[in-house]
Amino acid sequence: MQQPVIIITGAGRGIGAATAKLAAAKGYAVCVNYLHNQSSAQRVVEDIIRGGGKALAVAADVAIEADVLRLFKTATEQLGSVTALVNNAGILETQMRVDQMEIARLQRVFNTNIIGSFICAREAIKCMSTRLGGNGGAIVNLSSIAAQLGAPNEYVDYAASKGAIDAMTIGLAKEVADQGIRVNAVRPGVIYTDIHASGGEAGRVDRVKATVPMQRGGTADEVAQAIMWLLSTEASYVTGTFIDVSGGR
Ligand code: NAD
């Protein structure tokens, strides 16, 4: 039987890197996509190979269609037919009020967070669809509880892009269910990763954790566990839905 093959976007660090390592431990051959951080992506790959797994790092900007086509081609040629996708790559821009937000910022956020995820999902569906000769598969999109909370005064643009991820998840799940493909999303709360530094507040998790019912931030590993469950056969009747990994926030 062919080893399952997973593409994880933005997997050089954070939630993507944790998911890559967990996926390898669960028997997947892992395509570790990265944008600029080649050395950390390579370290993820080396960790996996040292543990006896199979992995490959591929540079691609998910917001550029030609890059995504190359990413899928490389993964398929070198690892085999793609059976799982984690749309993890995402960006957060500096916290600001909406009256300060410029169009260029909105375009950057939407290009990566929603258009990038959409293009990757489309390519994954082409690989997996039983109607197109594939053997089925599963997709997990990284949304955020910001899609529900709205992130006022910080990044309403980011929250809106994650709301679009939620709608895409439901629509794709219904459209491709009869093609052997499940599509779900994970909605993290505040998780200790470097994304908060790009939002201009590296210590955000510690500031916000008092508003979390469980009184703490989450870890990338805790998010990775939910992602891998949704991809697993244990979730074989689960599609078009969401798991909040948010400590109850
Ligand atoms: P992170 O910044 O550590 O990781 C994001 C990764 O995506 C980085 O490696 C980055 O290089 C990559 N990336 C960005 N733009 C890209 C592009 N155009 N093409 C390819 N890769 C690109 O952040 P993280 O916290 O691990 O975030 C992972 C996902 O989880 C994101 O979608 C984020 O929105 C979501 N999320 C995170 C939190 C949190 O609190 N950390 C909360 C809710 C949702």
Taking all residues of the chain, what is their mean pLDDT, rounded to a whole number?
A: 97
pLDDT at residue 247 tops 80: yes
* pLDDT given at position 244: 98
Helix (H, G, I), strand (E, B) or coil at 165: helix
Q: Would you call 158 a catalytic residue per the annotation?
A: yes
For residue 88, how far is its CA from the centre of ligand 1 (angstroms)? 6
- The atom number, within ligand 1, closest to the CA of 12 reads 9
Nearest alpha carbon to residue 123 among 177, 173, 169, 65: 65
Q: Mean pLDDT across the stretch 15-23? A: 98
Number of domains the chain is built from: 1
Q: Which residues contact 188 (CB under 8 A, 6 or more apart)?
A: 15, 142, 144, 145, 218, 223, 245, 246
Q: Which of 155, 158, 192, 237 is catalytic?
A: 158
33-78 per-position pLDDT tens digit: 999 999 999 999 999 999 999 999 999 999 999 999 999 999 999 9
85-136 per-position pLDDT tens digit: 999 999 999 999 999 999 999 999 999 999 999 999 999 999 999 999 999 9
CA distance 150 to 31: 32
* pLDDT given at position 2: 86
Q: What CATH number is associated with residue 205?
A: 3.40.50.720
Q: Mean pLDDT across the stretch 187-196? A: 97
* pLDDT given at position 199: 83
* pLDDT given at position 190: 98
What DSSP string describes 124-151? HHHHH-GGGT---EEEEEE--THHHH--
CA distance 249 to 236: 27
For residue 2, how far is its CA from the centre of ligand 1 (angstroms)? 30
* pLDDT given at position 1: 76
- The atom number, within ligand 1, closest to the CA of 143 reads 44
Sign of CA dihedral 187, 188, 193, 198: positive
Ligand 1 shell residues, CB under 6 Å: 9-10, 12-16, 33, 35, 37, 61-63, 88-91, 112, 116, 142, 144, 188, 190-191, 193-195
Its pTM stands at 0.98
Which domain covers residue 28, as residue numbers? Answer: 5-245
ipTM of the complex: 0.99
How much of the chain exceeds pLDDT 70, in percent? 100
Residue written as token pair 């950057």: 108
